[in-house]
Amino acid sequence: MRRVVITGVGAVSPNGQSAEESFRSLLRGESGIDRITLFDPESFASQIAGEVKGFDPETVVEKKRVREGSRFIHLAMKAADEAVKNSGFAPATEEELNRVGTYIGVGFCGIEVFEQNHRVYLERGPRRISPYFIPATISNLAAGQVSMQHGFRGPSYCVTSACSSGGHSIGEAFVAIQRGVIDAAVAGGTEAAVTPMGVGGFAAMRALSKRNDAPKSASRPFDRGRDGFVIAEGAAIVMLEERESAIHRGATILAEIVGYGASSDAYHLTQPSPGGEGGARAMKAAIQDAKIDPSEFDYVNAHGTSTPTGDIQELMAIASVFGSRAKNGLMVSSTKSMTGHLLGAAGALEAVITTLTIARGMVAPTINLEDPAEEAEGFDLVPNEAREARVRVAISNSFGFGGTNVSLVFKEHS
């Protein structure tokens, strides 16, 4: 089976407008959460979010073409641009371009454009809706626009599984390279759902934190005081290449991706299965795929959204998968404590973070962990401060509505 390596990363997140800027912010333990500015949140139960601050779509498309797309597309284009540039990947021939795939997931479609146009429709009638309504909203247009941006002509589509979309997309790109369908891919996720309906919908489900007076400490995975997740937005992309060709062209290899596991709870649309059984199966499948013993893992980038139920179920799943290693040398952190929950982009951002963790030997912390939940006892949750540590093998988890679970295993390249 062909091996797959990561040669570039890109990210636009609440913590920065590049992967490097975001990662450094995380290592400083900074929260990217603030009061919502993208709309007036006054009447909403939750008024905080992880917004990408000061994002200018004109950095990726011409001014006159901004209205043809939407925020989730532009964020993806920015992150992809960074990943491709950083990797130095530059296929020259048509045949090479034909063998580069684009896999970009999203949980919602272009929801802000949908809302804007629906508002126009309700207030001013159907004839005033933008002719770009459809191309700006459909989910696969992030992948489509990124393909066009770079001329990549291999498979180009959107894998969507709510909050595990980014993980699924990277996993499928990894398999396609392994199988020889393609030689390289840009893969990841994007989301821009900090909108009245996005926030209102999750708030109606009572899924969001209401710590409106203290946004920086609102996302607190594994802490007793957690009261829901903080919605966020952004995009993250990894540049994946077949290992031999990456070495041949002299690429800098940040990490190797060695395992992918996916499962479904078949239990409840929005609640995790008891004991985190579905998540555990995804982790086991990924570890089995990687052919690495659980005792060799150094780090888990947890899904850890800061919800009362989900965090505990994930810890139970980690305990069941890693056995004695879970509480003996295995670092587990939730970077959502700082970024908030990027929904369909979360798995991709956390894949980028995990890659940089391995490449830099620095583990980002779980912040706001002041009073760990009883069930967290014995776990090394890397509380509140980043840690220097060699990470040889790591796993990143993503779980989503619909009961979908994805785990990806990353390894130090050798």
Q: Which stretch binds other proteins (CB under 8 A): 17-25, 199-207, 235-243, 301-309?
A: 199-207
What's the one-letter identity of residue 161?
A: S
Are 241 and 87 within 8 A, CB to CB? Answer: yes
Residue 43 as a binder of other proteins (CB under 8 A): the answer is: yes
The gap from C-alpha 269 to its chain's centroid, in whole angstroms, comes to: 20
CA distances in angstroms from 34 to 14, 23, 398, listed in the order given:
9, 18, 24
CA distance 340 to 338: 6
Residue 304's closest CA among 352, 241, 238, 367? Answer: 367
End-to-end CA distance of the chain: 17
Centre a 10 Å sphere on the Cβ of residue 123 and count the other Cβ atoms it contains.
8
118 vs 133: CA distance, rounded Å: 10
168 counts as binding other proteins under rule CB under 8 A: yes
Nearest approach in angstroms of CB 61 to other proteins is 8
Given the complex with other proteins, which of 112 and 223 has the nearer CB atom?
112
The answer to whether residue 138 forms part of the interface with other proteins (CB under 8 A) is: yes
Alpha-carbon distance 212 to 43, whole Å? Answer: 12
Among candidate residues 74, 168, 341, 413, the one labeled active-site is: 341
* Residue 120 in contact with other proteins, rule: CB under 8 A: no
Q: Is 118 among the residues known to form the active site?
A: no
Residue 196 binds other proteins (CB under 8 A): yes
Structure tokens at 397: 């988890």
Site residues (CB under 8 A) for other proteins, limited to 96-115: 98, 102, 106-109, 111, 114-115
The minimum distance between CB 285 and other proteins, in angstroms, equals 6
303 is known as an active-site residue: yes
Q: Does 147 bind other proteins (CB under 8 A)?
A: yes
For residues 61 and 251, which CB has a smaller minimum distance to other proteins in the complex?
61
4 vs 159 by CB, closer to other proteins: 159
- Interface mask toward other proteins for 204-243; x: CB under 8 A: xxx-------------------------------------
Stretch that binds other proteins, among 130-138, 211-219, 250-258, 364-372 (CB under 8 A): 130-138
Of positions 28, 264, 320, 362, contacts other proteins by CB under 8 A: 264
Identity of the residue, 25 or 160, whose beta carbon is nearer to other proteins in the bound complex? 160
DSSP 282-349: HHHHHHHHHT--GGG--EEE------TTHHHHHHHHHHHHHGGGGGTT-EEE-THHHH-B-GGGHHHH
- Establish if 83 lies at the interface with other proteins (CB under 8 A): no
Judged by CB under 8 A, the chain residues 326 through 385 that form the site for other proteins are: none
Q: Is there binding between residue 118 and other proteins (CB under 8 A)?
A: yes
Q: How far is the CB of 295 from other proteins (least distance, A)?
A: 23
User: For 345, phi and psi rounded to 5 degrees?
Assistant: -95, -10
Is residue 248 among the annotated active site residues? no
Q: Which two tokens stand for residue 137?
A: 């909203």
Q: Which residues pair with 191 in a beta bridge?
A: 234
Q: Which of 150, 163, 168, 413 is catalytic?
A: 163
Residues known to be catalytic: 163, 303, 341
